[in-house]
Amino acid sequence: MPDQMVVPHLYLDTGVLVDVIRDIGDSFKLLGLARKKQWVISTSSFAVMEMLDIEQEDAFFRVKVAQGMTARWAMRKRTKRDLPKNELEDIYKRIRDKLAALYDFIDYWELTPAGFDEAVKFAKESNISAPDCIHLATAIEAGCDLLVTTDEFFGEEAKQYLPTTLPKRVEKELRSLDFVL
């Protein structure tokens, strides 16, 4: 535990990043604070892939409902999207451009083979979903002090491996880890 002025290293999972690119609530505020305090912020390329999936699903849903499909139909078909290539490219560019322009201080990590072994271990030992096991293993491999998630279940399950918190509780959790803010 740090006992002097040490910069915290935070890992952001996909839910936090989705809120950030949508300028929503506590996640958005957290990134502003992280920039101001010059905290080290990491995530993974896998999180970007999940963001693409989420944004594509949302776009598909909006288009289909606007075309007169029922919400129920659109929800059932969301994994069989038929968005045109230009829409897919626009979604990617919007995410990439916002992250690059406003959050260029975020570091992107890739799991090593040993990191994937850790993710499999977490999947065997816990109730954490496979994608969240990848996030947890990446955060640990990157040497993060704190994993930040919007998913309360994941956060509770992951605490046995790494300190974990919601965006609105980051400062409190960092203080409990003896960081001087």
* Residue 116 belongs to domain with CATH number: 3.40.50.1010
- Cα angle for residues 61, 67, 70 (degrees, 5° grid): 60
CA 32 to mean position of chain CA atoms? 16
Q: Is residue 166 part of a domain?
A: yes
Q: How far apart are CA 93 and CA 150, in angstroms?
A: 24
Residue 14: inside a domain: yes
Q: What is the pLDDT of residue 3?
A: 52
Residue type, 18: V
Q: Please give the pLDDT value at position 6.
A: 86
On whether residue 2 sits in a domain, the answer given is no
pTM reported for the whole predicted model: 0.90
Is there a contact between 143 and 133 (Cβ–Cβ < 8 Å)? no
Inside any domain, residue 3: no
Q: For residue 134, tell me if it sits in a domain.
A: yes
Dihedral in degrees, nearest 10, Cα atoms 36, 98, 162, 158: 140
Which stretches of the chain drop beneath a pLDDT of 50? 1-2
Domain span holding position 138: 9-176
What confidence score (pLDDT) does residue 5 get? 66
Cα–Cα distance, 90 to 80 (Å, whole number): 19
Percent of the chain with pLDDT over 90: 80
Please count the structural domains in the chain: 1
